[in-house]
Amino acid sequence: MWLYVIKRLLQGIVTVWFIATATFFAMHNVPGDPLLNDRAVTEAIRANLEAKYGLDQPIGTQYLIYLRNLSQGDFGISFTQENREVNDIIREHFPVSAILGILAVVFAAAGGVLFGALTALYRNRLPDYIIMFLVILGISVPSFVVAALSQLTLVTLNSAVGTTVLPVAGWGTILHMLVPAMVLGLGTMAYLTRLMRSSMLEVISSDFVRTAKSKGVPPARIFAKHQLRNAILPVITVLGPAIAAITTGGFVVELVFAIPGLGRYFVQAVQQLDYTVIMGTTVFYGAFLVFMVIVVDVLYGFIDPRVRLE
Amino acid sequence: MNEASTTSITTDDSFTTSAGKQLGLYTLYALLGLAALIYMLSVAAGNTGSDTSGGAISVERNSITITLREEPPQLDAGRATDASSFVVLAHVMEGLIGYDDNDQLIPGVAERWEIREDGATFWLRDDAMWSDGQPVTAHDFEFGWKRVLDPATAAEYSFIMYSIKNAEAINQGELPKEMLAVTATTDKILDIEFERPTPYFDKLVAFNTFFPLREDFYESTNGRYGADADMMLYNGPYVVEEWVHGSTMLWTKNPYYWSDEKGFLDEIVTAYITQDVNAKLNLFKDGQIVDTHLVAPMLPTAMEQRWQIDRVMDGTVFFLEFNHREDRVTDNLNFRKALQLAQDPTELVYKVLKEAGYLPAESLFPVWIQGVEDVFRKEYPPQEHQMNLTLAREHLEMARRELGLEEFPPIIFLSGDTPVSLLAAEYYQELYRQNLGLEIRIDAQIFKQRLAKMTSGDFDIVLAGWGPDYFDALTFGDLFASWNLNNRGRYDSEEMDRQVRIAQSELDPRKRMDAFGEIQRIVYDDVIVIPMYERGWSFVVDPRLKGFKRRSVGPETDYNYAYIDVSGN
């Protein structure tokens, strides 16, 4: 078991190194120039800027310097946020994305499992039709539409009540989080509902459920122990990547609700060719994703004893 | 997903009922768990932002809430280059000279000044203080300016100081920075020698790059000057009390500020950092922020709400810039003339873009530029433009013969990726296809890529814009001098260079303005660019806030003169 974990972690490190290398060279080959700005600068100023960011070195040397700093956990200084270290940007803004992400994932997972089980239980009946209709909506409507619509609803709600029931945007209190987290988790919730429903339906018709029923096991116990617990496995599988996707993919929601998360930096860095921030956020998110996948694999062993980790 | 197998199971109602109950129980657990989690997360979130639900205006606290377009990269005035930083700096710092609420120069830290042919002298006021209570002295300007020109600082705006003697050589690393001809003769007198006559120097020093910096404080920050609220020293009407990066800023009144004609509010909260105009509109509607600008689709909503809509020119002029490098068809004057004659910016602005506040551009110089006694454009009216397709086609035919072409190759039209630029690009594509039979290929690029292509000359026509740095015609006038690095189309003519030199150094205001009039004529006759539009903003302000200003030059939003008035007048 521990050997397995260590092996997976080592593989993970190689994966992250690969991500870092690929991003590094891809980034340097993107047309455009991180030091170009509205006002053109003279050769001399440009040389000063290049020296400051180490861009005057050959690309191979830059890569080696980068790897050395990376191994010490130093991502360097941002090109656009000139006095801030990338480490600081990640440290200050990732918690925001993470808090929002955790809440969204919990919304998504709890809702997905419960609605999935519900639709399977009442399959081809009214609750099933209603929820599955909403699920299709949830999957197909993009998050920027949902975000804008829900914000508009909040404005209408607040003006109808005459006071601020829920804030329209911003960050800081629990009230600021609820709506953005729901918007962020909606797509995943819809996806998990579908997944849970089909997985439940498969389990319901399996032999061990029929055996349990014929043995006279109480229905609530069959539902909880035999059906739910077996049906939830595929949901756990996609949950790992889903957590990473939600935590890293909140850019639109962060923008609309003016939330100071890392997603904004991630996207803006690419547009502004902020080399150090691109590298920092990509490697960080990459490592996070790899780590989540490993965690899910290990969790498997606990949830399903049939999976042996060796 | 194989649902066919499920049909073999008969529905068992009693099973469904008890399983449903169990599911209900789980739902309850999930809700309880969720509530607990939300509570824990809200405690955790308390450390990553501050509570911003104070509303647009708080009369008791004498405070207002505003938005910033972007997080300022840093607040070191000597190195700042972006609009958000300029907004913050305009409230927390002060230069030698400033602008009043009618865009007229007024004394700042300098109480009076004198601009001569060979230099300038500023006399500093006695009561100008830093936010730690120490006086602002001439040494703080001397130190700040020398640091900007120090190659190690790598300040992008250092060129704006090049009219000071030795500045350029220091910035190129050819002279030590001690050689800069800026001297604090006493604590209160600042003497400057010019490299060449600079009659507009008073307008220059109002710019951010010329703000003061105190040496002992700067040294104590270990290279982190401007990175955080406590890593700065302020001398403006407000100070940055708190700065939560990417989230909020709190500006409070600076108790040491000398003037009682600025800074009437006790607190300004920049609670939201967002560029999303819809989010800003929603915040404004919800009474969370005091002002926001509007785009065309929002105007009906604003009318419905009976808001007072104001307009202001943003200062920027947008134009089609030609590539004048020799290997391009756009180097041919007749070709450019044809394109000029086949268009009319009025149609673009009023029928295509339909943005309220935009004006069709008639000249390189925007409407608000000052001449000698009146507005420049009144003293020197721009060349009358008439769309003339017959003449345009004649010029195109001449160009074809001069270039020895059977047919014109596709024209590469470089544009930005914003909705307005794309709309404009598509308009010209269709216009020139219909009117001149030219094939235009639109090359839409994000900001940095577009700049890279402009710099390397990888275009025929580019949709470009230029915004002012200081309140003088020269901020536009020297754009097409052959040595100007922002002349990305590489226009090069002796006549233009000669006029720009006059505009830079001529001491007689009338002769100097004549030069700008000539520049305006050359831009039209030689079709260096085709002006498209001057950008303007429509905006709304909370009726309780008075004295708010949006500017064409300087900070785009200015709350220095703003105060709360609830009397309802």
Closest CA–CA distance from residue A120 to any residue of chain B (Å)? 10
Q: What confidence category does residue B566 fall into, taking pLDDT thresholds of 50, 70 and 90?
A: confident
Do the Cβ atoms of A169 and B282 come within 8 Å?
A: yes
Q: What confidence category does residue B47 fall into, taking pLDDT thresholds of 50, 70 and 90?
A: low
What are the chain B neighbours of A258 within 8 Å (beta carbons)?
Answer: 67, 272-274, 276, 279, 283
Q: What confidence category does residue B9 fall into, taking pLDDT thresholds of 50, 70 and 90?
A: very low
- The pLDDT tens digits for B461-472 are 999 999 999 999
Closest CA–CA distance from residue B494 to any residue of chain A (Å)? 22
- The pLDDT tens digits for B497-544 are 999 999 999 999 999 999 999 999 999 999 999 999 999 999 999 999
| DSSP notation for B507-538 | -SHHHHHHHHHHHHHHHHHTTSEEEEEEEEEE
What are the chain A neighbours of B155 within 8 Å (beta carbons)?
Answer: 45
What are the chain A neighbours of B227 within 8 Å (beta carbons)?
Answer: 83-84
Picking from B306, B300, B332, B283, the residue whose alpha carbon sits closest to that of residue B460 is: B332
Q: What confidence category does residue B49 fall into, taking pLDDT thresholds of 50, 70 and 90?
A: low
Separation between Cα atoms, residue A198 and residue B526, nearest integer Å? 71
Query: Cβ distance B529 to B548 under 8 Å?
Result: no
- The answer to whether position A97 is within a domain reads yes
pLDDT score of B54 more than 80: no
Closest CA–CA distance from residue A11 to any residue of chain B (Å)? 32
- The answer to whether position A184 is within a domain reads yes
Closest CA–CA distance from residue B390 to any residue of chain A (Å)? 38
pLDDT score of A308 more than 70: no
A-to-B residue pairs, Cβ atoms closer than 8 angstroms: 266
Residue A220 lies in domain: 86-275
pLDDT score of A283 more than 60: yes
Residues 230-259 of chain A with CB under 8 A from chain B are 255-258
What are the chain B neighbours of A170 within 8 Å (beta carbons)?
Answer: 49, 52-53, 271-272, 288
- The answer to whether position A48 is within a domain reads no
Separation between Cα atoms, residue B345 and residue A13, nearest integer Å? 58
B29 and A CB contact within 8 Å:
no
Closest CA–CA distance from residue B507 to any residue of chain A (Å)? 27
Query: What domain count does chain A have?
Result: 1
Separation between Cα atoms, residue B221 and residue B232, nearest integer Å? 8
B561 and A CB contact within 8 Å:
no
- The answer to whether position A8 is within a domain reads no
Separation between Cα atoms, residue B35 and residue B37, nearest integer Å? 5
Separation between Cα atoms, residue A69 and residue A82, nearest integer Å? 18
pLDDT score of B211 more than 70: yes
- The answer to whether position A111 is within a domain reads yes
Question: Exposed e or buried b for every residue in B92-102, given b needs 16+ CB within 10 A?
Answer: bbbbbbbbebe
pLDDT score of A117 more than 80: yes
Query: Cβ distance A279 to A27 under 8 Å?
Result: yes
Residues 44-103 of chain A with CB under 8 A from chain B are 44-45, 47-49, 51-52, 78, 80-84, 88-89, 92-93, 95-96, 99, 102-103
pLDDT at B435: 94
Closest CA–CA distance from residue A80 to any residue of chain B (Å)? 6
Separation between Cα atoms, residue B349 and residue B356, nearest integer Å? 9
pLDDT score of B88 more than 80: yes
B81 and A CB contact within 8 Å:
yes
- The answer to whether position A95 is within a domain reads yes
The mean pLDDT of chain A is 86
Do the Cβ atoms of A260 and B455 come within 8 Å?
A: no
In sequence order, the 6+-apart residues with CB closer than 8 A to the CB of B22 are: A219, A220, A223, A224
Q: Give me the helix-helix angle, B447-456 and A262-272, nearest 10°.
A: 10
What are the chain B neighbours of A45 within 8 Å (beta carbons)?
Answer: 151, 154-156, 158-159, 171
B15 and A CB contact within 8 Å:
yes
Predicted TM-score (pTM) of this structure: 0.83
- The pLDDT tens digits for A61-98 are 999 998 998 888 888 888 877 777 889 889 888 888 88
Strand ranges, E, within B196-247: 238-244
Q: What confidence category does residue B565 fall into, taking pLDDT thresholds of 50, 70 and 90?
A: very high
Closest CA–CA distance from residue B115 to any residue of chain A (Å)? 27
Going from the C-alpha of B370 to that of each of B39, B201, B360, B367, the distances in angstroms are 59, 16, 19, 9
Q: Is B110 helix (H, G, I), strand (E, B) or coil?
A: strand
Do the Cβ atoms of B447 and A198 come within 8 Å?
A: no
| A39: nearest CB among B81, B227, B279 | B81
Closest CA–CA distance from residue B381 to any residue of chain A (Å)? 28
What are the chain B neighbours of A97 within 8 Å (beta carbons)?
Answer: none
CATH of the domain at A136: 1.10.3720.10
User: Chain A: residue nearest B156 by CA?
Assistant: A41
- Lowest pLDDT segment from A218-227, B333-342, B482-491: A218-227
Do the Cβ atoms of A260 and B26 come within 8 Å?
A: no
Q: What confidence category does residue B146 fall into, taking pLDDT thresholds of 50, 70 and 90?
A: very high
- The answer to whether position A270 is within a domain reads yes
- Lowest pLDDT segment from A179-188, B16-25, B139-148: B16-25
Q: What confidence category does residue B382 fall into, taking pLDDT thresholds of 50, 70 and 90?
A: very high
A296 and B CB contact within 8 Å:
no
Q: Quick one: DSSP state of residue B250? A: E
pLDDT score of A131 more than 50: yes
Residue A48 CB neighbour total at 10 angstroms: 23
